Amino acid sequence: MKPTRVLVTGLGPVTSIGIGAQAFHRAQLAGTSGTRHLTRFTIGGTECYAAGEIDLPPEHEASRRLALGTDRCAQLALVAAKLAVADARLQPAALDRSRMGVVIGTGIGGAQTWQDSATAMTQASPARLSSKTVTKAMCNSATALVAIEYGCMGPTSTPVVACAAGAEAIVAACQMICSGEADVVLAGGAEAPLVPMVLAGFAGTRALAPPTDTPHAASRPFSADRVGFVLAEGAAILVIEAADHAARRGAHALAEIAGYGRTTDAFHVTAPASDGDGARRAVEAALRNAGLTPDDISYINAHGTATVLNDEAEVRALQRALGTAAKRVPVSSTKSQTGHALGASAAIEAVAAVQSVSTGTIPPTINLTTPDPTLSMDFVSSAPRRADVAAALSNSFGFGGHNVVLAFTRP
């Protein structure tokens, strides 16, 4: 990463537990659950899946005009960008916008648009779709619309590496800054997967928590009785900025991005490599890249999906990568509260990791009353913990075997 220092100067989370940096942080510390019985649609019988739905307040609701030309995925990204830009006190019009970039990852993009279009194709005769079908549905829609909104004319891109997409976006932002292409990058992830065919598709993988009577407690990472992840929508954008640029405009730095590690399992599309080997290598690579040792790490924001396979492989990976430090490093999973927002999740969790550094608090894993006895780590559960977080890691692993670990330090 050196010599350019890369800072986080603004946060814009849009999640089922809170919208905006303060609301999200408060909800995290309060142990709020954002998962509830799905209200948007039903599939199959009367049993109901849990989901992390977001009720956008009127001030963030898309106008009718915007809604016609955008999928909810991009709409959530636009809200996240607005919040992040405000949080960073960024005034794009006053900056060199040819040096402003945008990188917003997603797993799926405009899922509702594809589903509606498929329905229209079978129902309308002759089949005719809106001229905006493609631009609404395409995965880079959020990136493009945020760039248009803020006039960002530097580099833009859209990583699509499933549940690691938001972290991959932050890596890309760091690289844009370190290579000298950009001064500021709006980076993160967005996902709006609460669509029948996406939910049914994930149910088909058996990775999804089954229908439940207790939706608030459905996402149980690291728990002995964990049953899979809870699908959620969400977005988060971070303002990522070169340190000298941030200093020139008097921006407040929340954390430094000290480094990252990226590896690929090259093993199986859903199952993690044996003993979490790909994840272990990513954690080790992040430490190396950031110039940190396991003893420097004060908090790990886990991928922690609550699937049987992920949580076991992730803990094994952490134990091997951290050695003796694995016994004392606090670990928690944001997905216990928000649900799993796929391509947005890594960006949401990067926000949580940044806030652990900037506030000195570690958010809890909720619904973790009985940890899996085979997974022994210092899980922060039931209540947040105060800690001097000098360095935090955020893990993200995507279907396909994509592993990205981000390292944040105090600026």
Partner 1 sequence: MNNDDALRMIRRVLSDTLGVDADAVVPDAHLRDDLGLDSLDAIDLVAALQDELGEQIESTLIADVATVGEVAAQVRRRLATQ
Active site residues: 163, 303, 340
Strand 402-409 to 255-264 pairing: antiparallel
Interacting residue with partner 1 among 3, 131, 204, 388 (CB under 8 A): 131
Note whether 383 binds partner 1 by CB under 8 A.
no
User: Rounded distance, CA 179 to CA 1, Å?
Assistant: 10
Q: Is 156 left (phi over 0), alpha (psi -120 to 50) or beta?
A: beta
Note whether 58 binds partner 1 by CB under 8 A.
no
- Residue 119 or 374 with smaller CB distance to partner 1: 119
CB of 144 to partner 1, least distance (A): 13
Q: Are 28 and 35 in contact (CB under 8 A)?
A: no
- Residue 64 or 386 with smaller CB distance to partner 1: 64
Note whether 201 binds partner 1 by CB under 8 A.
no
Q: Please, which of residues 62-121 interact with partner 1 by CB under 8 A?
A: 63-69
Interacting residue with partner 1 among 132, 216, 249, 410 (CB under 8 A): 132
- Residue 70 or 223 with smaller CB distance to partner 1: 70
Q: What is the DSSP string of 364-380?
A: PBTT-SSB-TT--SEE-
Q: Is the peptide bond before 3 cis (omega within 30 degrees of 0)?
A: yes
Q: Please, which of residues 135-164 interact with partner 1 by CB under 8 A?
A: 135
CB of 149 to partner 1, least distance (A): 14
Contact letters for partner 1, residues 240-269 (x by CB under 8 A): ------------------------------
Cβ within 8 Å of residue 174, ≥6 positions away:
1, 6, 240, 257, 260
Note whether 126 binds partner 1 by CB under 8 A.
no
Cβ within 8 Å of residue 278, ≥6 positions away:
263, 264, 265, 266, 267, 272, 317, 397, 401, 403
CB of 106 to partner 1, least distance (A): 21
User: Rounded distance, CA 277 to CA 280, Å?
Assistant: 5
- Residue 130 or 270 with smaller CB distance to partner 1: 130
- Residue 67 or 200 with smaller CB distance to partner 1: 67
Tokens of 264: 């690929």
Tokens of 269: 């599309």
Tokens of 303: 């991928």
In the chain, the largest separation of any two C-alpha atoms, in whole Å, equals 66
Query: Which positions lie near partner 1, rule CB under 8 A?
Result: 63-69, 128, 130-132, 135
